[in-house]
Amino acid sequence: MAEDLPDLVAGRHARILELARRTGSVSVEALATALGVTPQTIRRDLNQLAKQAMLSRVHGGAVVTSGVDNLDREARRQVAAEAKAAIGTAAAALVPDGASLFINIGTTTEAIARALVQHRNLLVVTNNLNVADILGGVPTIEVVVVGGRVRASDRAVVGALAMDFLRGFKLDYALIGASAIDEEGTLLDFDMDEVRVSQTIIEQARTVILATDQTKFGRPAPVRIAEIGVVDHLVTDRLLHPGIAAACAAGQVKVTQTDT
């Protein structure tokens, strides 16, 4: 059926999220009427959005997911897992052999690390102990782990010591993720210490590659990282959000979409 074409589904999901964020909650019946589809289609849409942590399902509809608390790492790892793998492959392809790079915390940046294992003569500086585990045994990649406080929830090294450590480097690339990107193209996250480390990584890199899937577009989060104009290249599965697309164009951000 036409309503199940990928572009129409993605557009419908964007409209559902827009309505939900405007009112705080949505009902199946109201959405079906507003969007001109069956209640069964809306239930399927809401279930998909709930799996992506964009909404929380309640009886008869859904409510907006918190913009203050992030999901735990295991839940984040499962959200859009196939899309993250494709994004990781595309982002890794932008990094030439012989390069130096930062990789920050995140399940998408871990997907990039898995796609880098065939590269040669890389220097990788990371505050993500999961990335160190992925790349630390590769003989053609030198891994430097940032010093500082290890956050138990996701094995991220954060805090002032980590920032001081990172300032000792000036590398070719920063491969970063973000928990959210708002309507105007502001990169956002949930933890102030993590944000400060990400800001330092951006400052110390010559080229910044942002890797994120479409579930992060239009999502709320309380702490600002930077405007998207600091990014040189955005790698995502699909960019259908008009405000963020316009911000990328204004900031001369190159965009790679894997789901095309």
The pLDDT assigned to 79 comes to 52
The pLDDT assigned to 144 comes to 98
Q: Cα–Cα distance between 107 and 130 in angstroms, integer?
A: 9
DSSP labels, 75-131: HHHHTTHHHHHHHHHHHHHTSPTT-EEEE-SSHHHHHHHHHTTT--SEEEEESBHHH
CATH class of segment(s) 73-257: alpha beta
The pLDDT assigned to 250 comes to 97
What does the domain layout of the chain look like in residue ranges?
A: 2-64, 73-257
The pLDDT assigned to 81 comes to 77
Residues 157, 163, 166, 170: is their CA dihedral positive or negative? positive
Query: What does the pLDDT profile of the chain (260 residues) look like in tens digits?
Result: 444 677 788 889 888 988 887 766 789 999 999 999 999 999 999 998 887 767 778 788 887 665 544 444 455 555 567 889 999 999 999 999 999 999 999 999 999 999 999 999 999 999 999 999 999 999 999 999 999 999 988 899 999 999 999 999 999 999 999 988 998 999 999 889 999 999 999 999 999 999 998 878 887 788 999 999 999 999 999 998 899 999 999 999 999 999 85
The pLDDT assigned to 1 comes to 42
The pLDDT assigned to 78 comes to 52
Q: Which fold has domain 2-64?
A: Arc Repressor Mutant, subunit A (1.10.10)
Q: b/e per residue, 109-146, with b = 16+ CB within 10 A?
A: bbbbbebbeebeebbbbbbbbbbbebbeebeebebebb
